[in-house]
Amino acid sequence: MLELGFLLLAVAQPPSQPPPPPAPITGITAKLGREDGKPELIATVTSDGKPVPNVGVTFSLVRSFGDLTLGQDTTLDDGTAAAPFPAGLGADAQGGWTFKVALTSPETLAGQAATLRVESLAAPSSAAVPSRRELWSRSAPWSVLITVLALAGSAWAVYGFAGYQLYLIRQGGKDA
């Protein structure tokens, strides 16, 4: 009898209807703003001039070998989403940054993107600052250089040892 009660409860509930499809996005804008004195990236998502809430947004920095994700947010009722501008971020050769704002959810909107070019943020350009050894700069950090050279040196040492052994075999087993 208990089983029948659960069955009736499940049948008595109205079927759930799928959510309405999201409105097509007609505009993604990105700008640089400040909150509490700290710089942040702000994206606004609109559809026919009206803000679109609850859209997933990913903020990325465009680099030579791919995009560096800086943060993710969901748009508010006013259609805006924000991510903090990272401190100490090295600029490109022109002394600025190129950011990409991409929509990630819902799936029907995923992939749409906009870019933002920031030329100055009251920070000196990379041309005026001596090059620091960082992963995104032209000069790699010493720890990375030493690791790569040690690995390459180890491989060449194995090749040298194998060549020396082949030389000894060719000499007929005599010490050279």
Helix (H, G, I), strand (E, B) or coil at 139: coil
Token pair belonging to 147: 């690791």
- The reported pLDDT for the residue numbered 10 is 47
Report the percentage of the chain scoring pLDDT > 90.
14
19 CB contacts (<8 Å, ≥6 apart)?
A: none
100's enclosing H/E stretch is strand 97-105
- The reported pLDDT for the residue numbered 167 is 92
Q: Does position 1 have pLDDT exceeding 50, yes or no?
A: no
Helix (H, G, I), strand (E, B) or coil at 154: helix
Q: Tabulate helix, strand, coil % of the chain (nearest 5).
A: 25, 35, 45
Q: What is the pLDDT of residues 58-117, one digit of tens each?
A: 888 887 778 888 889 988 889 888 888 877 777 777 777 888 888 887 776 667 777 777
More confident residue, 155 or 122: 155
- The reported pLDDT for the residue numbered 148 is 92
The widest CA-to-CA distance across the chain, in whole angstroms, is 95
More confident residue, 42 or 16: 42
Instruction: Tell me how far apart the alpha carbons of residues 37 and 156 are, in angstroms, rounded to a whole number.
Output: 53
Q: How confident is the model over 21-49, as a mean pLDDT? A: 77
- The number of residues making up the chain comes to 176
Whole-model pTM above 0.75? no
Residue whose structure tokens are 């505009």: 27
Token pair belonging to 126: 């990379």
- The reported pLDDT for the residue numbered 127 is 47
DSSP 15-51: PPPPPPPPPPP-EEEEEEEEETTEEEEEEEEEETTEE
Kindly report the average pLDDT of the chain as a whole number.
76
Q: What is the pLDDT of residues 119-145, one digit of tens each?
A: 755 444 444 455 677 776 777 888 988
More confident residue, 102 or 174: 102
